Amino acid sequence: MLRAGFIGFGRMGITHYSILNSHPSVDVIAVCDQSTTMLSILKKYVNVMTFTDYREMIEKSSLDFVIISTPPDSHAQIVQFALENNLHVFVEKPFTLSVAEGQNILSDFKFRSLIHQVGYVNRFNEVFIEVKKLVDEGVIGDVSNCYSEMYGATVVKDSKSGWRGHRKTGGGCLYDFASHCIDLAVYLLGQPEKVAGSVMQSIYSSGSEDLVSSTLIYENGCTVEIMTNWSDESFRKPTNILTVFGTKGKIVADKHAYKIFLKEADPEHKLDKGWNTAYLPDLAQSVRLYVRGNEFTRQLDYFVGRIRNETIGNIAGFDEAFKTDIVMEQIALDASYNHSFPDNDLRSRLFLRKSSEKPSAFGKK
Amino acid sequence: MIDNVIFGDNQFFGINHMSEEKARNLSEKFSDLKAITDIIEIAYDSGIKSFMINSNERARDICDYLRANSSRYPDLCLYPSMPYAHKYANMVAEKGIFATLKETILADFSMGNIIGMITKGGGSLFEKDMIKVMQLLVDIEMKIYRDLTVKVVFLQNIVSDLLLGFGLKDFFIAFDSYIRKKYHAEAGFVTMNMPKMVEFLIDCGIENPIVCSSVNKAGFLMNPDINSYEATLKDKKFRPVAMSILASGAVPPEEAVKYVCQHNSIRSVVFGASSRQHIIETKNLIERYCQF
């Protein structure tokens, strides 16, 4: 049995716990969180050790891996400590808040020998997996440009409490919605060369942006338009929309379905000339326990499978997620040049974040 | 006794598991309450007396309408499903779980000793008794359905499957007994993991549990697989309620109904439709193929 520890027990931590607690090869040993209320509830209802300091938890619990779902500004520090202690690491997205922090982790030789994954869950969604396969197999020809969009009604008033309303702690639409859109672009097409025309706007939030748009430009001239708005009340829940244009046709996809338009029929893929549609029921693959969407289970089972040497590849490793970190930093910088974000010290905070600076939470000792 | 045919409400709220685009179109179509009550009227007049209603923002309006028109619907009974998690999701993202619970409870119970229990020492009630918190939340949600006939109160799959993963037997047992005692109704559980849920509920000592899950030929939203579903339907003693029988449109209606009805243990089917033609067609198919 693999011994698991959880660091951060908010909405994502709880979801991950439910999924892994029921995994036949995993024993959840310990949970670390800053909320003593949460810990005392766990103590009462669940058989698990509890900690408020992740270092103490790691030192005392002889774990095999950790699941980190803390506010993003603490990711780098906790990941580093876990790697130093020879633990496999799953960390929620975004990977870190600066390229410098990410580079530090990637240059640590330990990360090469341990299993690492970032919670870019779209990479485990059946529709997006299928879209990637179709693009890789050249069904729509050479990709010329894409739209990677995400909308939702996550923020509909100025939230001053909690980490999500503040850029410094890793809140804001860039690290949240836009990271998913950029990750889908990286997943499909790899690392863009540069970004242009970036805009970050506040709609409700005083401490962060609610809308991000940007153009990612690839070496071969291909572009990806990023458009995200987490204050769009017309959406019942957060929704990704991906449109990929190629020389032979185009694909329009969301998490539940994709449509593909082809200029000519593709008998090999059983696709007609014109529009073809595939829905999730045609593509869906069941999981051992469905909690909030089967991609959440698939991503964690993949992570555990890799630790157990049962699955190969590296679908959402640190090195992949780092590419998105680079793009996010490029966008923030580009947007600050465009004077589009009303936060004047954005650049200084991004690039001058000292390694000695304490993250807001989980730094107690 | 659970009704054989129950009318579902997902289509009213822009929920479609097959396509996010279709879901948005439905949400536009039913943005007017009249469009929803028209469909309820058609379903009722076609002979369907049972309605599953999720406790979302629109449920309040729908239930107000049903109370105001109670003489129009003398035999109507409801199968509430709670909580509607999206209602709380943004507040949880903004303020955290406990602040959300606290504000939700305080907003509703402005009187009595609840206020003291909650405010004293911040999270004292949460630390002391989460079962009590669950009961307070059930009471808040149940107010939506007051004065209407309620047969079964379902725990929504987002919560029931999350707690199933935690293995929290106490909560399932407490929910079941609270619904019986306070509301004189039965507790039901919606799940995307029916075989595991049935086994778990039986382990909890909940006899002949009511479990609502997808049952369709496509195996859609049936975890871990269709074979385990078929085996559980055959071998376990529980009251299955079948939903998503059309697999969001992947299975043609007649084939879908035939598949569901070949399982003798299924005595209840939930389906949603957004036109007179689809309501009548599906109801007729169920009555033709299922030997209730």
Q: Which residues of B21-48 are buried (b: 16+ CB within 10 A; e: fewer)?
A: bbbbebbeebeeeeebbebbebbbeeeb
Q: Mean pLDDT across chain B, nearest whole number?
A: 88
Helix, strand, or coil (residue A242): strand
Is the CB of residue A180 less than 8 Å from the CB of residue A94? no
pLDDT at B30: 73
The interface residues of chain A toward chain B in range 202-241, judged by CB-CB distance below 8 A, are 234-237, 239, 241
Least confident of A220-234, A345-359, B137-151, B153-167: A345-359
The interface residues of chain A toward chain B in range 83-142, judged by CB-CB distance below 8 A, are none
Here the tokens at position A172 are 């804001």
Residue A15 has pLDDT above 90, yes or no: yes
- How far from the centroid of its chain's Cα atoms is residue A103's Cα? 18
The interface residues of chain A toward chain B in range 159-178, judged by CB-CB distance below 8 A, are 159, 161-162, 164-165
pLDDT at B228: 98
pLDDT at A18: 97
Query: From A24, which residue of chain B is nearest by alpha-carbon distance?
Result: B165
- Tens digits of per-residue pLDDT, A60-96? 999 999 999 999 999 999 999 999 999 999 999 999 9
Closest CA to A92 of A115, A76, A72: A72
Question: CB contact, 8 Å: B204 with chain A?
Answer: no
Phi, psi of A225 (to 5 degrees): -85, 120
Least confident of A156-160, B212-216, B251-255: A156-160
pLDDT at B208: 97
Which residues does A74 contact at the CB level (< 8 Å), separation at least 6? A359, A360, A361, A362, A363
pLDDT at A155: 87
Which of B99, B162, B249 comes nearest A291 by C-beta? B162
Which residues does A271 contact at the CB level (< 8 Å), separation at least 6? A139, A260, A262, A265
Is the CB of residue B100 less than 8 Å from the CB of residue B126? no
Closest CA to A65 of A117, A135, A136: A117
Which ipTM was obtained for this model? 0.89
CA B72 to chain A, closest CA, distance in angstroms equals 32
**Cβ neighbours of B75 (radius 10 Å):** 9
- Tens digits of per-residue pLDDT, A318-363? 999 999 999 999 999 999 888 655 554 454 455 444 444 555 545 4
pLDDT at A351: 46
pLDDT at A364: 43
Which residue do the tokens 């070949």 mark?
Answer: B262
Residue A111: band (very low, low, confident or very high) from pLDDT cuts 50, 70, 90 = confident
pLDDT at B16: 61
Is the Cα dihedral A342, A348, A351, A352 positive or negative?
negative
Whether A161 sits inside 8 A of B94 (CB atoms) is: yes
Here the tokens at position A33 are 């969180």
d(CA B123, CA B111) in angstroms, rounded, equals 18
The H-or-E segment that residue A305 falls in is helix A294-307
Chain B residue numbers touching A15 (CB-CB < 8 A): 162
When scoring B94, B117, B134 by the number of chain A Cβ atoms within 10 A, the one with the most, hence best to mutate, is: B94
Residue B183: band (very low, low, confident or very high) from pLDDT cuts 50, 70, 90 = very high
Q: Parallel, antiparallel, or unpaired: how do β-strands A211-217 and A223-229 relate?
A: antiparallel
In A164-314, DSSP assigns E strands to: 194-201, 211-217, 223-229, 239-246, 249-253, 257-262, 274-279
**pLDDT, mean of residues A17-22:** 97
- Tens digits of per-residue pLDDT, B225-264? 999 999 999 999 999 999 999 887 788 999 999 999 999 9
The interface residues of chain A toward chain B in range 33-72, judged by CB-CB distance below 8 A, are 35-38, 40-41, 44-46
Chain A residue numbers touching B15 (CB-CB < 8 A): 236
The interface residues of chain B toward chain A in range 24-63, judged by CB-CB distance below 8 A, are 24, 27
Residue B110 has pLDDT above 60, yes or no: no
Is the CB of residue B292 less than 8 Å from the CB of residue B261? no
Which residue do the tokens 């975004």 mark?
Answer: A94
Chain B residue numbers touching A22 (CB-CB < 8 A): 164-165, 167, 196
A169 vs B253, more confident: B253
**pLDDT, mean of residues A194-201:** 94
Least confident of A244-248, B127-131, B186-190: B127-131
pLDDT at B130: 87
Angle B77-B82-B84 (CA atoms, 0-180°, nearest 5)? 125
When scoring B20, B88, B134, B157 by the number of chain A Cβ atoms within 10 A, the one with the most, hence best to mutate, is: B20
pLDDT at A8: 97
CA A143 to chain B, closest CA, distance in angstroms equals 24
Return the CA Rg of chain B: 19
pLDDT at A365: 37
Is the CB of residue A208 less than 8 Å from the CB of residue A171? yes
Chain A residue numbers touching B86 (CB-CB < 8 A): 236-237
- Tens digits of per-residue pLDDT, B70-103? 999 999 999 999 987 777 777 777 777 888 888 7
Whether B163 sits inside 8 A of A18 (CB atoms) is: yes
pLDDT at A154: 87
Least confident of A37-46, A319-328, B166-175, B208-217: A37-46
Closest CA to B229 of A282, A20, A290: A290
pLDDT at B115: 59
Residue B19: band (very low, low, confident or very high) from pLDDT cuts 50, 70, 90 = low
- Tens digits of per-residue pLDDT, A258-279? 999 999 999 999 999 999 988 7
Chain B residue numbers touching A154 (CB-CB < 8 A): 90, 93
Which residue do the tokens 């879209």 mark?
Answer: A131
Question: CB contact, 8 Å: B96 with chain A?
Answer: yes
